[in-house]
Each structure stands twice: as C-alpha cells, then as structure tokens.
Amino acid sequence: METALPVRSVTGLAERDRPLITCLDHRTGVRQDLTAAELGEWSARVAGLLRDGCGLTPGSRVAVLLPPHWRTAAVLLGAWSVGMTVSFRPWATAGLSVLEPGGDRPYDGVLVTPERLDDWLEDVPEGLHRYLVGTGPEPLAEVPAGWLDWSVEVLRHGAAPTDRPMLHAGDAASPDGTSYAEWGSVAKVVAEQLDLRVGDRLLVDVTEHDQPLKWLLAPLSAGASVVLCTNLDPEHRDAVVAAEQITRVL
C-alpha cells in the first residue's frame, strides 16, 4: 500500500524549471538551490545510508534535530521512504533525551546539526548511529569522536529503493504512533489552510517556522516550491518576495 505522506511527491515535480527548495541566508548571501530530481536523489541516498550503512529496518527510531534546510528535507523524506519512525524535534527545543518520553527504548540513530551538538553529547549511549549534519556546502572542519559527518557518509551509499512492500500507510511515522497516512492527511489540511496550490512558491522565515509539517510536507502535498530564508530582514522582505517570485508567505 502506498503511503499518504508526500515521500514520492518529488517525482511528480521533477520536470519543474525552477528549484523545489531554495535555502537563502539573507545576511551572508549564501544560496543553495535543489531541484525536485536532486532532492529525490539525496533522499534515496539517505535511505541507503540508514538501511544499508546502519542496518536499520522499518520501525527503527531515528531522532532528527535539524533546522529547516534542504538537507533536513532529504533526511526526513529518506528516512520515511524506508519505513523509519522519525522523531523531529523543533529547532528551539532544549533538554533533549535519547529516550522516548515516558519510555525506556533509545533511538537507533541521531542526526543533529553541529550548533546543537551539546544537547546530545552527555546523553548518547554507545552503539547509536550518530551523524552531524552541517548546513554549509563544505564538509565539516571538525567532527567529535563517536560522530560522523553526514555529508561525507551519505555519498558512500547508493540510492535505496523506496517502493517496497514493507512500507504501509498505517505504519507509525513518528514515535507518538501517528501513521504515514495521518501525517499525509494533516499535510493536505495545512496546505489548504495556507491556500497553497500547484506552482506556488512559499517563503518561509526559518526562525519563525521550524516544523516540517508547514515548511516541507504541506508544500509538497500541494505541489508548491519553498524558499527557506535564514536571517530574513523584515524591511527587505518585499524585495525577497519580488526576486524569488514568491506567491505565498508563511
């Protein structure tokens, strides 16, 4: 049964003539564009890393503490595409634990940005698959012992097939038991609330909106593209809207 999550939605957008996800730092001017085809390729490599590199299986638990970014999109879509149960923690969350709330089962893998590494260093047991995911175009200059640079490791693995019979719409996509189908339904509702339509281009201030339901799943379910803007200057927002051909602002 095919999942209702927009894991495969990137395929239908692959022929678009503009980026599916644009990451723009308004302060530094650094820009990263990713087409739908490229996002699909990276997502498949993430699936290969988790399945073949880490030996994880459908139902394995993966914790993600990353800001809105194309790499975060690839991690989430790749993990979901091979049946992982993903716990996405908001970027502002502190005091994290590798144990589920009220439970005693640790995660099987953790992906965290270097800026939030201190939240995990004292609480990560031996044997856990640990990856640092930077948001810059270059590999990380320094990686602590026991951690791996995601940008290097993900390239060691080929794409994992995502159309597998073990992936079902009723499986848990998140640790609270929310299924793939339920997340997909909520994403469509949010897209309707945001009035997102096919061909729309959504501007997202990443400091205000870090939940992937709004900046990733809802736009994908509607067939919209996204501009993720860091350090967005409110006084120059109209200029960004015009330059990026924005049709909706979150």
Query: Which pLDDT value is given to residue 37?
Result: 85
pLDDT confidence of residue 159: 66
Q: 58-106 pLDDT, tens per residue?
A: 889 898 889 999 999 999 999 988 888 888 765 444 444 444 444 455 7
What percent of the chain is modeled with pLDDT above 70?
78
pLDDT value for 204 = 95
pLDDT of res. 156: 85
Q: Which domains are seen in the chain, by residue range? A: 6-249 (3.40.50.12780)
Alpha carbon 67 to chain centroid distance? 8
pLDDT at 177: 82
Do the Cβ atoms of 91 and 230 come closer than 8 Å? no
Residue 25 bridge partners (DSSP): 230
Confidence of residue 194 (pLDDT cuts 50, 70, 90): very high
Length reported for the chain: 250
Which residues touch 11 (CB under 8 Å, ≥6 apart)? 36, 40
Q: Which residues of 115-154 are buried (b: 16+ CB within 10 A; e: fewer)?
A: ebbebbeeebeeebbbbbbbbeeeebeebeeebbbbbebb
Whether 56 has a pLDDT exceeding 70, the answer reads: yes
Q: How many CB atoms lie within 10 A of CB 4?
A: 20
State the pTM of this model: 0.87
Confidence at residue 224, expressed as pLDDT on a 0 to 100 scale: 92
User: pLDDT tens digit string along 102-158?
Assistant: 445 578 888 988 887 776 655 556 668 889 998 887 888 888 888 899 999 998 877
